[in-house]
């Protein structure tokens, strides 16, 4: 019996030792250069995390992190549990030659990348220049770099200005050193270090769909500008605002939902998204800037959640909640005529911007304000009824309305804004009311069929090139000579002028 008990205790002891030994199992983490040359090793208990080693030094090369593959395509996450032997490879890269950049010295302390002037398709920004740190990438530093496929940003960069990486149509990857304290890269796109701001999507990627990480609260300016491949973008409920021009020029974007966390949609956020046909504004949105949907040529339905306290939709067009301001006409509609509702008193800037279907627009006399760029490039617009209480034809209101032949201005008009009728190429005649005091720069520029215009004595200001390119125009002036407030180039094309005109 004693022998049996002894054997049993030995068995228990051996089993415990074996289990303890298994629990103490360790794995080797080898840190190496890309060619496999070892740098250091760590012994890590099964299920524990590796420790981040010191950055390797290899001449003037920049270190971007430890990767799980020798090609350095995937950065290793040091929060991962180690369960087997593993080799991690140092992603070290040779900086692009300094002569490929224009530099600017900041306070005699640091340098900024002012402009990339080289022809390289892969650029690695150096961390130093002339012995000083490179800390900033200036606005437009990488603008229209059409051959560029990769940009690598070192840990020295503390500030990347808005649209620093702009219109690089073949850019597939923006890589940031893992030691950079201000920025990071996720799947080749650029974010702030905490992930709360998405700064730049690499617009050369081939992907048609993209889901924004749920850490993102806001965007930088023009984050997806001119991304031609994306058709669908998923915005998470973490996002609070859609910033300046974020999706501008995403011409193939057809599917996007604004989450009910968003409170503000900034200028030009969806401008020129020509494949977008409909969109829903959630109840949470409190501010929409006027040109958010400019040039969305197929947008035929703007819907607003009925619980939204600030906006509403009428027949697919966007208004403020009480319907007194027409904010955006859905320019993808096919109707040729539109009558502004009677309750409307104001029409926002760019409300009909580049609407090519409309031929006739009737605006009731309750409207007292028509914004700038309202009918900009409405190329098929033939007639517009201007209400009797309007005092100003604003900037670019009828710019490039190439089928606008006649328009009657009410007696209330006191000012014609810059470029107001510029390039109205078949506008045959126009009568300026007696209250007009101002004719803006280029106001009637290139109105090639305009044959006559009467400038009354009340006009005290005429801007630059107001009648430039009016090949058939004769100008009749009540004044006997040019007035002091008229620009030297007011009649740049030397149109015939009849001074002291009395109507006889």
Looking at residue 35, its pLDDT comes to 85
Question: What are 148's two structure tokens?
Answer: 């560029």
Give the alpha-carbon dihedral of 363, 364, 370, 374, to 10 degrees: -10
pLDDT digits (tens, 9 = 90+) for 241-270: 999 999 999 999 999 999 999 999 999 999
Confidence label for 5 from pLDDT (cuts 50, 70 and 90): low
pLDDT digits (tens, 9 = 90+) for 305-355: 999 999 999 999 999 999 999 999 999 999 999 999 999 999 999 999 999
Confidence label for 494 from pLDDT (cuts 50, 70 and 90): very high
Residue 3 CB contacts under 8 Å (≥ 6 apart), including other chains: none
Question: Minimal CA–CA distance to 61: which of 51, 52, 50, 72?
Answer: 72
Looking at residue 24, its pLDDT comes to 67
Q: How many helices (H) and strands (E) does the chain have?
A: 1, 41
Confidence label for 495 from pLDDT (cuts 50, 70 and 90): very high
Looking at residue 275, its pLDDT comes to 98
Question: Minimal CA–CA distance to 39: which of 52, 26, 49?
Answer: 52
Looking at residue 259, its pLDDT comes to 97
Fold of 2-93: Immunoglobulin-like (2.60.40)
The H-or-E segment that residue 9 falls in is helix 2-23
Q: Taking residues 187-212, what's their average pLDDT?
A: 97
Looking at residue 17, its pLDDT comes to 46
Tell me which of 155 and 35 has the higher pLDDT: 155
Looking at residue 77, its pLDDT comes to 85
Q: In the predicted model, what is the mean pLDDT of the chain? A: 92
Looking at residue 65, its pLDDT comes to 83
Long-range contacts of residues 282-290, Cβ cutoff 8 Å, at least 24 apart = 282/258, 282/308, 283/307, 283/308, 283/309, 284/260, 284/308, 285/258, 285/310, 285/311, 286/310, 287/263, 288/264, 288/318, 288/327, 289/265, 290/327, 290/328, 290/348, 290/349, 290/350, 290/351, 290/371
User: Do 65 and 52 contact (CB within 8 A), yes or no?
Assistant: no
CA atoms within 13 A on the CB side of 217: 5
Residue 144 CB contacts under 8 Å (≥ 6 apart), including other chains: 166, 167, 168
Count of positions (residues) in the chain: 504
Question: What are 156's two structure tokens?
Answer: 């020295």
Instruction: Count CB-CB contacts under 10 A for residue 259.
Output: 15
In eight-state DSSP terms, residue 480 is S
Looking at residue 21, its pLDDT comes to 45
Confidence label for 1 from pLDDT (cuts 50, 70 and 90): low
Residue 158 CB contacts under 8 Å (≥ 6 apart), including other chains: 135, 136, 181, 182
CA distance 63 to 325: 55
pLDDT digits (tens, 9 = 90+) for 376-400: 999 999 999 999 999 999 999 999 9
Looking at residue 37, its pLDDT comes to 87
Residue % of the chain over a pLDDT of 90: 81
Annotate 71-107 with b (16+ C-beta within 10 A) or e (fewer): ebeebbeeeeebeeebbbbbbbbebbeeebbebeeee
Map residue 6 onto helix, strand or coil.
helix
Tell me which of 90 and 116 has the higher pLDDT: 116
Looking at residue 67, its pLDDT comes to 84
Residue % of the chain over a pLDDT of 70: 95
User: Do 321 and 312 contact (CB within 8 A), yes or no?
Assistant: yes
User: Do 197 and 220 contact (CB within 8 A), yes or no?
Assistant: yes
Question: What are 123's two structure tokens?
Answer: 């650029």
Residue with tokens 């048609």: 208
pLDDT at 8 over 80: no
Q: Taking residues 459-484, what's their average pLDDT?
A: 96
Looking at residue 3, its pLDDT comes to 54
Map residue 441 onto helix, strand or coil.
coil
CA distance 297 to 300: 8
**Separation in Å, CA 223 to CA 44, 139, 218, 265, 473:** 41, 13, 10, 14, 46
In eight-state DSSP terms, residue 131 is T
User: Do 456 and 479 contact (CB within 8 A), yes or no?
Assistant: no
The H-or-E segment that residue 93 falls in is strand 86-93
Confidence label for 209 from pLDDT (cuts 50, 70 and 90): very high
Residue 6 CB contacts under 8 Å (≥ 6 apart), including other chains: none
**Separation in Å, CA 198 to CA 146, 189, 194, 224, 229:** 22, 8, 10, 10, 18
Looking at residue 72, its pLDDT comes to 81
User: Do 70 and 89 contact (CB within 8 A), yes or no?
Assistant: yes
Looking at residue 73, its pLDDT comes to 80
Beta bridge partners of 219: 198
> Is 39 buried (19+), middle (13-18) or exposed (0-12) by CB count in 10 A?
middle
> Is 65 buried (19+), middle (13-18) or exposed (0-12) by CB count in 10 A?
buried
Confidence label for 12 from pLDDT (cuts 50, 70 and 90): low
| Vertex 365 angle, CA 361 and 367, to 5° | 80
pLDDT digits (tens, 9 = 90+) for 108-146: 899 999 999 999 999 999 999 999 999 999 999 999 999
Confidence label for 56 from pLDDT (cuts 50, 70 and 90): confident
Task: Give me the residue spans of the domains in the chain.
Answer: 2-93
Confidence label for 19 from pLDDT (cuts 50, 70 and 90): very low
């Amino acid at each position: 019996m004693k022998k049996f008990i002894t054997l049993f205790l030995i068995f228990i002891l051996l089993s415990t030792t074996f289990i303890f030994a298994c629990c103490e199992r360790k794995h080797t983490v080898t840190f190496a250069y890309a060619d496999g040359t070892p740098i250091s090793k760590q012994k890590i208990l099964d299920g524990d995390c590796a420790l981040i080693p010191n950055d390797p030094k290899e001449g003037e090369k920049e270190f971007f992190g430890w990767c799980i593959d020798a090609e350095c395509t995937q950065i290793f996450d040091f929060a991962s549990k180690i369960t087997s032997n593993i080799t991690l490879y140092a992603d070290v890269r040779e900086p692009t030659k300094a002569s490929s950049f224009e530099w600017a010295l900041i306070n005699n302390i640091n340098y900024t990348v002012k402009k990339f002037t080289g022809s390289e398709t892969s650029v690695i920004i150096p961390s130093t220049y002339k012995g000083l740190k490179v800390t900033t990438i200036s606005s437009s530093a990488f603008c229209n770099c059409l051959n560029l496929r990769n940009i690598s940003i070192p840990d020295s960069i503390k500030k990347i200005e808005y649209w620093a990486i702009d219109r690089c149509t073949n850019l597939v990857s923006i890589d940031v050193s893992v030691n950079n304290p201000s920025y990071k890269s996720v799947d080749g796109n650029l974010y702030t270090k905490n992930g709360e701001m998405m700064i730049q999507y690499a617009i050369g990627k081939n992907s048609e769909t993209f889901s924004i990480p749920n850490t993102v609260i806001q965007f930088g300016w023009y984050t997806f500008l001119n991304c031609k491949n994306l058709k669908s973008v998923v915005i998470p409920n973490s996002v609070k605002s859609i910033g300046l021009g974020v999706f501008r020029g995403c011409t193939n974007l057809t599917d996007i939902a604004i989450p009910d966390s968003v409170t503000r949609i900034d200028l030009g956020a969806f401008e020129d998204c020509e494949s977008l046909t409909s969109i829903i504004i959630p109840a949470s949105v409190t501010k929409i800037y006027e040109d958010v949907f400019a040039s969305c040529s197929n947008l035929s339905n703007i819907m607003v959640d009925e619980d939204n306290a600030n906006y509403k939709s009428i027949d697919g067009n966007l208004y403020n909640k009480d319907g007194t301001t027409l904010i955006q006409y859905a320019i993808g509609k096919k109707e040729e005529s539109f009558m502004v509702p009677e309750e409307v008193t104001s029409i926002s800037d760019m409300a009909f911007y580049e609407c090519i279907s409309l031929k006739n627009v009737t605006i009731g006399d309750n409207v007292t304000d028509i914004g700038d760029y309202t009918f900009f490039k409405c190329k098929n617009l033939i007639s517009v009824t201007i209400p009797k209480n309007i005092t100003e034809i604003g900037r670019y209101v009828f710019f490039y309305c190439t089928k606008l032949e006649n328009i009657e201005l009410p007696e209330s008009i006191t000012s014609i804004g810059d470029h107001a009728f510029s390039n109205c190429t078949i506008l045959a005649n126009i009568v300026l009311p007696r209250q007009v005091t101002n004719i803006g720069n280029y106001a009637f520029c290139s109105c090639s069929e305009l044959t006559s215009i009467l400038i009354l004595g009340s006009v005290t200001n005429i801007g630059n090139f107001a009648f430039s390119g009016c090949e058939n125009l004769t100008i009749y002036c009540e004044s006997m000579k040019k007035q002091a407030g008229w620009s030297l180039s007011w009649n740049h094309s030397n149109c015939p002028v009849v001074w002291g005109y009395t109507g006889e």
